Structure 1
Amino acid sequence: DIEGVYETQVPLLFRALVQLGCVCVVNKQLTRHLSGWEAETFALEHLEMRSLAQFSYLEPGSIRHIYLYHHTQGHKALFGVFIPSQRRASVFVLDTVRSNQMPGLSALYSSEHSLLLDKVDPKLLPPPKHTFEVRAETNLKTICRAIQRFLLAYKEERRGPTLIAVQSSWELCRLTSEIPVLEEFPLVPIRVADKISYAVLDWQRHGARRMIRHYLNLDLCLSQAFEMSRYFHIPVGNLPEDISTFGSDLFFARHLQHHNHLLWLSPTSRPDLGGKEADDNRLVMEFDDRATVEINSSGCYSTVCVELDIQNLAVNTILQSHHVNDMEGAGSMGISFDVIQQASLEDMVTGNQAASALANYDETALCSSTFRILKSMVVGWVKEITQYHNIYADNQVMHFYRWLQSPCSLLHDPALHRTLHNMMKKLFLQLIAEFKRLGSSVVYANFNRIILCTKKRRIEDALAYVEYITNSIHSKEIFHSLTISFSRCWEFLLWMDPSNYGGIKGKVPSSIHCGQVKEQDSQAREETDEEEEDKEKDEEEEGMGESEVEDLLENNWNILQFLPQAASCQSYFLMIVSAYIVAVYQSMKEELRHSAPGSTPVKRKGASQFSQESEGATGSLPGMITFSQDYVANELTQSFFTITQKIQKKVTGSRNTTEPSEMFPVLPGSHLLLNNPALEFIKYVCKVLSLDTNITNQVNKLNRDLLRLVDVGEFSEEAQFRDPCHSYVLPEVICHSCNFCRDLDLCKDSSFSQDGAILPQWLCSNCQAPYDSSAIESALVEALQRKLMAFTLQDLVCLKCRGMKETHMPVYCSCAGDFTLTIRTEVFMEQIRIFQNIAKYYSMSYLQETIEWLLQTSPVSNC
């Protein structure tokens, strides 16, 4: 029986790069057989890879090089062919008019060369003087023929082995089709972005200066390319544009072959499983995408809250994967449900592999041996970093998770990715438990960041506490490779969720630099007089005016965007919420100043049980609780009533609940029929104020009175708060500028212009670079297809006994119950509407076309 035909999709070039590397020799047996013969071609099995310890690869001086520069914009282009060994160059200008406006290139080259002499090692610079030949043409074919003749003349001179370093705005295949002689030289692409505009009068002068600067940096680029090719063990001419992911594919393929493992390499997102992948759609039919663990505790926090960035979670997890079973309590018993038992040689010969057989859906166990090989590869990189400080190994570790989760990777395996992701969840939950064990309260946490409530009043104490707990966590072996760094902090925080929060930012001391406390600064602080510091802080606190507090005020409320701008609804929302935050914060500071420094606040005997519980949970001071309750009951209630009446007079709400009002903005996450501005304003503001549990009774009374003002019942359905913004999270979106990985909420994580309008793009939260919209659109189309696949192939469940339908024919369950869908049609259509809103708002035509095709051809739309 034939189980499957494997490795049918491996490109021949990739197989050659994996097996031969950049240095190879002819097999000794073939050498003896061919003695006296001159062979021009060899089969792959006749060549053997050799390490760089045995042979060197392209040492300096072993090969000459020519530089070919080409940049084009519209009808204008600039070509340059430089031969450093002969100190000459030919420059060709393409324009609609044959006009040579080039400056003196020899003088320009000499001046640029002399500028670099002080900064760069002279060995990494071309010779100092060059002769230039300049020609201006109006026909591209004429220039290509001239370069063809130029290179042919060089080849006929037989100057020895020579490569051509090509920096062009065209692909190499197009360039070689125009200049065929290039195929007779080894070509090394130089991938340097050339950001220059030819849409100026003296574009020839600007273009010539930029071309000469690129040429002066050529030796440095080539030396880096040679070092890179030696590390990855591939020819320098085969270095791809994205070397990090290709290098991971290359290393992993070599590790797999070393362990006698088949390659599942495939150009598509489905791995090559010998043909089974075409019949098994379970890998691509998840309805709920890999849900990342997210912890959210909404509330009002009056002690210092600190945000910590988490990095290297994936690498740390794979390095510590052997501890996962110990964490779950199974390691001591020798039980592991995700490791397949190895079959003996006797079982393989006789075909009796029942002992090692397992259900074919247990993908975690099936890829356990592959996971061990993957781990050995990552461990090798980490050793190279720690022992030899190898920057290329460090780069591979940085891009490891991007390679593993990317469907564009040649060796992409969803099962392997899912296995690591599940381990990351377990490790992450263990990390959260460790923070809680050390006395912190977790406000919010995901794979990238953690917001902790430190329960400390002073920022210095909170930072010292954070330093202590991070050092304690790093001392545990299981978290040893995690990078936990300080990001920012708040002295007062009103938190609903990551898209809705406000507070007073904390002033961080200058000793905090890049997330770490400098030891020298901390030692200097210890040596200074504590009394003087306390005096300075008291003076600062007394001198902090309202304007300074307003500078530290931070408001980030997504629900604000769903209020109409008419009648200043959004401005009034910010005004009320900001006024409450600032008033309570100043009250807290005032009470702290009157209390003795370092003393523990004493609870009042008359405080209710509810207040005491709130005080213990959020760290509120007794005086602050009394102030906030009085403030809401008096000052805030009065201003709230006045503002609501103004809104009601200016924009009258409609009682028609079947159609949304045009006053409300339509955003990607919109899903509610909003038609009463005053009512929505009341609900949103009261929801934010209710985050502070100290004023629950006062806010409930305020909400009841305001609803009566707009003639809405307190317990009616329209009076209940519902989040106006739907959420769709695209998991593990990676920024190609800084390699930061995060879950992107396409409905809530929008970027805003200076006037407050939402921009049609998403920005990386780490480096503020825009994400590739086309890549996000492709990911959305794939997610939509997966959801459709999951909906189509779902199981039916019995309404009575909740058992799954096991066979196709029965109309009723064995218990006489009716069958129904596991994924309800309403849930699926709600997801489709979210995709539709995103496609319309961000002008994603491909996604919109896919949704329209789905609704036309699928019976779902009629359900």
Structure 2
Amino acid sequence: FSVQLLIELQRIGSTTIYGNLNKIILATKRWSLLDTRLYIKVILEHLQLKDLTSTICLELKSIYHCLWWFDDKNYCGFRIWSNTKGQIDDNIDNNDEEETIFDWNMIVYLPRVVQDYFETIMIGFARSIYDRLRDEYKEATSITQTNLPVKVLEYCRGLFTDELYQQLMSVTNQIERKLTKSDFDSTLPTPLSSTSPALEFVKSVCCLLFLLHDMHDDVMNLRRDLLKLLKLSEYSEMTTTNLSSLTSFVVPQLVCSNCNHYRDIDLYREINSTIDKDSDDEQYRQYQYTCNQCHTPYDQTVIEQYLINHLQTLVLENVLQDATCNKCHFVRNVYYKIYCDCGELYQNLHTTALLHNTCIILTQIASKHQMAALQQQIQFLNRLNHWNE
């Protein structure tokens, strides 16, 4: 059904940036706020006339200028209009003051000082580009080209070479000299193969800058020089993977008890809100995952029960898995047989690596959210399989 909706949007000429069961992000190619809202209004009216989409409640939530989109957990931009009710008033002109939105999940694992460096430098760079684009499209109503205008591109390259390059080289050098792996935030479930704050800072910066497709070569040269400063090869595997993409654990279609809004929650990547923010002792802090619509905390017992069921399913699959012959690849058809007819020893089809890695991830989640029942299950499996030895 969702795919058919996206196909219909594509058929009428809309460009879809991202879509899931809860929201769709479109590139309207219109700079004027009034034209953008009228364009969305026409699309919504068109979809209401279709039998397939007439029963869906679709509404306009917000409008952005200069949106830097990597994925639904990593994006930044300037929101020029927002309406929680989703009602479109055609009488309001483009006089709203823009709001800077910076939601870059890749940096939540980094020390606070590194996050501040990242936000200050990158928001300043994005703001400069946005101001230049606003001057360029001041009299324009629609945007026909997808790349940056020539004058704006020249300005960006000058800003990149004269200011941003020197700032990033200086900041990266300071982070490398003053911070180590032990400075990662211990309250967050740090990914298993975390490296160093300086390297993760470089990877996050380059990941954002690569969204400027017109400046790909400039960003590649910057990345090479930053990695050279850290004495690392630009082709190394550890320099190409971001922290937030190393580990993920998704709870699908979790329903909010207050507004019945449902969504997938990545327990490992999402930032959690602190209920008891006044407590300085980490032991007495409580963390909750909240609904992104009504901001009501999800029932933690429901999440814990899902994790326990998932863990027990993995254990059951591990116990009941097939045994195969390494030589002839036949599956064992008699349970008590140890050797195949060809004389080769039977071995399990899968190892316990998946179960072990899942236990490591769930241990960090359970420890942070004080899930006692889940912790007991994991401790039992660790003792049973001698994983702590």
TM-score range, shorter chain: 0.7 to 0.9
**Mapped pair 1:788 → 2:315:** yes
Q: Which AA in structure 1 matches 2:140?
A: P
**Mapped pair 1:465 → 2:36:** no
| Partners of 1:729 and 1:744 within 8 A in 2 | yes
SS of corresponding position for 1:481: coil
SS of corresponding position for 1:486: coil
The match for 1:504 among 74, 78, 94 is: 78
The match for 1:705 among 225, 235, 238 is: 225
1:491 CA drift (Å): 1.0
Distance 1:650 1:499 in 2: 29
Q: Which AA in structure 2 matches 1:632?
A: F
| Partners of 1:777 and 1:844 within 8 A in 2 | yes
1:663 CA drift (Å): 0.9
2:140 corresponds to: 597
The match for 1:726 among 243, 247, 269 is: 247
SS of corresponding position for 2:69: strand
SS of corresponding position for 2:59: strand
The match for 2:183 among 650, 653, 663 is: 663
Query: How do residues 455-854 of structure 1 correspond to structure 2 at under 5 angstroms?
Result: 455-508=29-82, 514-517=85-88, 521-522=89-90, 552-565=99-112, 568-593=113-138, 597-598=140-141, 616=146, 619-651=147-179, 653=180, 661-724=181-244, 726-753=247-274, 760-796=287-323, 805=331, 807-808=333-334, 823-854=350-381
Distance 1:627 1:445 in 2: 33
| Partners of 1:687 and 1:721 within 8 A in 2 | no
1:600 CA drift (Å): 5.9
Greater radius of gyration (CA): 1
Provide, for residues 315-354 of structure 1, a one-character-per-residue CA deviation record: whole Å limited to 9, x for no partner.
xxxxxxxxxxxxxxxxxxxxxxxxxxxxxxxxxxxxxxxx
Q: May I ask how many residue pairs the two structures share in their alignment?
A: 381
Do the aligned partners of residues 440 and 817 (structure 1) sit closer, same or farther apart at CA in structure 2, a change above 3 Å counting? farther
SS of corresponding position for 2:361: helix
| Partners of 1:670 and 1:726 within 8 A in 2 | no
Do the aligned partners of residues 735 and 599 (structure 1) sit closer, same or farther apart at CA in structure 2, a change above 3 Å counting? closer
Which stretch shows the higher mean deviation, 775-784 or 577-586? 775-784
Q: Which AA in structure 2 matches 1:727?
A: S
1:435 corresponds to: 9
| Partners of 2:114 and 2:175 within 8 A in 1 | yes
Which ranges in structure 1 are unaligned for 5 or more consecutive residues?
1-426, 526-532, 602-614, 654-660
Which ranges in structure 2 are unaligned for 5 or more consecutive residues?
none
1:838 CA drift (Å): 0.5
Query: How do residues 270-285 of structure 1 correspond to structure 2 at under 5 angstroms?
Result: none
| Partners of 2:29 and 2:142 within 8 A in 1 | no
1:848 CA drift (Å): 0.3
Do the aligned partners of residues 701 and 805 (structure 1) sit closer, same or farther apart at CA in structure 2, a change above 3 Å counting? same
Distance 2:116 2:177 in 1: 17
Distance 1:516 1:798 in 2: 64
Distance 1:483 1:813 in 2: 60
1:447 corresponds to: 21
Distance 1:702 1:760 in 2: 38
Do the aligned partners of residues 576 and 774 (structure 1) sit closer, same or farther apart at CA in structure 2, a change above 3 Å counting? same
CA RMSD after TM alignment? 3.3
Distance 1:815 1:428 in 2: 51
Distance 1:800 1:480 in 2: 58
| Partners of 2:29 and 2:143 within 8 A in 1 | no
1:680 CA drift (Å): 2.2
Distance 1:833 1:671 in 2: 10
1:10 corresponds to: none
Q: Report sequence identity in percent.
A: 28
SS of corresponding position for 1:783: helix
| Partners of 1:440 and 1:455 within 8 A in 2 | no
1:814 CA drift (Å): 9.2
Q: Which AA in structure 1 matches 2:151?
A: G
1:136 corresponds to: none
SS of corresponding position for 1:516: coil
| Partners of 1:644 and 1:682 within 8 A in 2 | yes
1:667 CA drift (Å): 4.6
SS of corresponding position for 1:585: helix
Distance 2:153 2:309 in 1: 51
Do the aligned partners of residues 813 and 441 (structure 1) sit closer, same or farther apart at CA in structure 2, a change above 3 Å counting? farther
1:671 CA drift (Å): 2.0
Distance 2:183 2:6 in 1: 43
Query: How do residues 244-393 of structure 1 correspond to structure 2 at under 5 angstroms?
Result: none
1:739 CA drift (Å): 1.7
**TM-score after normalising by structure 2:** 0.85
Provide, for residues 235-284 of structure 1, a one-character-per-residue CA deviation record: whole Å limited to 9, x for no partner.
xxxxxxxxxxxxxxxxxxxxxxxxxxxxxxxxxxxxxxxxxxxxxxxxxx
Distance 1:586 1:464 in 2: 24
Distance 2:41 2:346 in 1: 57
Do the aligned partners of residues 778 and 587 (structure 1) sit closer, same or farther apart at CA in structure 2, a change above 3 Å counting? same
| Partners of 1:664 and 1:675 within 8 A in 2 | no
1:576 CA drift (Å): 1.6
SS of corresponding position for 2:137: helix
